[in-house]
Structure 1
Amino acid sequence: MLLSVKSLKKSYSTAQGNVPVLKGIDMHVNAGDTLALTGESGSGKSTLLHLIGGLDLADEGQIILDGRDVTHLDDAGRAALRRHSIGIIFQQFNLIPSLDVAANIAFQARLSGVYNPAEAAKLAAALGLGDQLSKYPDQLSGGQQQRVAIARALAVKPKLILADEPTGNLDEDTASDVMAQMLSLVAQTGAALVMVTHSPRLAGQMSRQLNLRQGLLA
């Protein structure tokens, strides 16, 4: 088992008091799994993804990723885990405007000490970016920018990829194309993919689906 989440709880403080978002989440993910997290807006899908990725801290519960207890790591430990074991793909792309496509793809892999120019070029080609490597993010379409974000995440050779509405800013045809390319590449790497999505159509392309409702998974 690559990922195990047990009795995970998270609340946020508001002017009206504590609001529970996750009320005891239990889930597991094996290597090679593709899992869609669905649910209404505000149901806590992104919160769960951020907790798994060590971007936020849980109130209670346990997250074991590749044998390491994420919930007991300090900031430096969680950052190291993200550098080496987790690839994160956001809806907003989060590319570095001052770097060209090739440098954006290489950025995290260089930080992790695993950058391989030949493999990065192969990723770029597989995602249709082979002739875009010298361009900058503002010269690309939304679909191209998301492909760069996917290539950047995969270049680290992560064991787990977390994707938060990765096609949410794309039109339907582009979203389908990007999704197909991402799933193909993920399958080739053997990584697991956990994706938050509102789209039943995209969720249906994953091997498993879990629905988050009222703070619990079903």
Structure 2
Amino acid sequence: MLLEIERLTKSFAGPEGPVEVLRGVELALDAGRTLALTGESGSGKSTLLHLVGGLDTADGGSIRIDGQEVTALDDAGRAALRRGTVGIVFQQFNLIPSLTVSANIAFQARLAGRHDPDRAARLAAALGLTDQLEKYPEQLSGGQQQRVAIARTLAARPRLVLADEPTGNLDEATSGAVLDQMLELVSETGAALLMVTHSQSLAARMERRLHLRRGRLE
């Protein structure tokens, strides 16, 4: 099992005391599999992805990725996990303003020691970015920046892709092309894909669907 989550809990401070966001979440996702995570706004979907990606720490429970206990890692260990094993597509683009589109796409793959210029070029073409490669992020629309962020994640060939509303800034046709590329990565490399989405059409293309309600998956 590539991803195993057991009894995961997370609370945040509120004006009247701690607010439970995740209440004993249990989830398993094998390599080569895809899972859509749905739920109302504020239900904890992004929080769950951030915990799995090592961007935040859980209050309790266990997260194992490829047998490695994420909750036991220090900051350096979690950063290494994101460089080599986990790729995250954020709602925010987080592109590097001083780098061109081409360099942004290659950035994560270079860190992971997996830069493949041919693959980067294929991703750019598939996502409609070939004519934008020498531009800088500030010269792009929001939708174009989102596609660059997605290409950057996929170019590094992560074992686990965490995607938080990856097509929120894209039209329906481009959204489909983006998901095609994610599913192609899963097929080619045996990666796993965990995607948070409000789109029922995208969720329907995933192998499994789970709904987060009141801090629990159902």
Whether contact under 8 Å (1:143, 1:174) holds in the other structure is no
The AA in structure 2 aligned to 1:100 is: T
CA distance in 1, matches of 2:124, 2:211: 33
Unaligned runs of 5+ in 2: none
Deviations 1:35-73 (A, max 9, x none): 100011111000000000000000010000011000000
Partner of residue 156, structure 1: 156
Distance 1:180 1:112, change over 3 A: closer
CA distance in 1, matches of 2:181, 2:74: 35
The AA in structure 1 aligned to 2:130 is: G
- Measured after TM superposition, the shift of residue 133 of structure 1 is 1.3
Distance 1:54 1:152, change over 3 A: same
Partner of residue 203, structure 2: 203
Whether contact under 8 Å (2:126, 2:177) holds in the other structure is no
Q: What SS does the corresponding residue of 1:131 show, helix, strand or coil?
A: helix
- Measured after TM superposition, the shift of residue 126 of structure 1 is 3.0
Whether 2:34 is the aligned partner of 1:54: answer no
Whether contact under 8 Å (1:84, 1:158) holds in the other structure is yes
Partner of residue 20, structure 1: 20
The AA in structure 2 aligned to 1:2 is: L
Whether contact under 8 Å (2:33, 2:186) holds in the other structure is no
Whether contact under 8 Å (2:100, 2:137) holds in the other structure is yes
Count the aligned residue pairs: 218
- Measured after TM superposition, the shift of residue 180 of structure 1 is 3.0
Q: What SS does the corresponding residue of 1:19 show, helix, strand or coil?
A: strand
Q: What SS does the corresponding residue of 2:50 show, helix, strand or coil?
A: helix
Q: TM (normalized to structure 2)? A: 0.93
Distance 1:101 1:186, change over 3 A: farther
Deviations 1:7-43 (A, max 9, x none): 0000111121001000001110011111100011111
CA distance in 2, matches of 1:199, 1:123: 23
Distance 1:70 1:192, change over 3 A: same
- Measured after TM superposition, the shift of residue 167 of structure 1 is 1.1
Task: Pick which of 22-31 and 139-148 moved more.
Answer: 139-148
CA distance in 1, matches of 2:180, 2:161: 15
Unaligned runs of 5+ in 1: none
Partner of residue 141, structure 1: 141
User: Which residues in structure 2 correspond to 1:1-218 (within 5 Å)?
Assistant: 1-218=1-218
The AA in structure 1 aligned to 2:98 is: S
The AA in structure 1 aligned to 2:201 is: R
Whether contact under 8 Å (1:143, 1:175) holds in the other structure is no
Whether contact under 8 Å (1:54, 1:70) holds in the other structure is yes
Q: TM (normalized to structure 1)? A: 0.93
Deviations 1:107-166 (A, max 9, x none): 112222322323322332333323321112233333332221111111221100000011
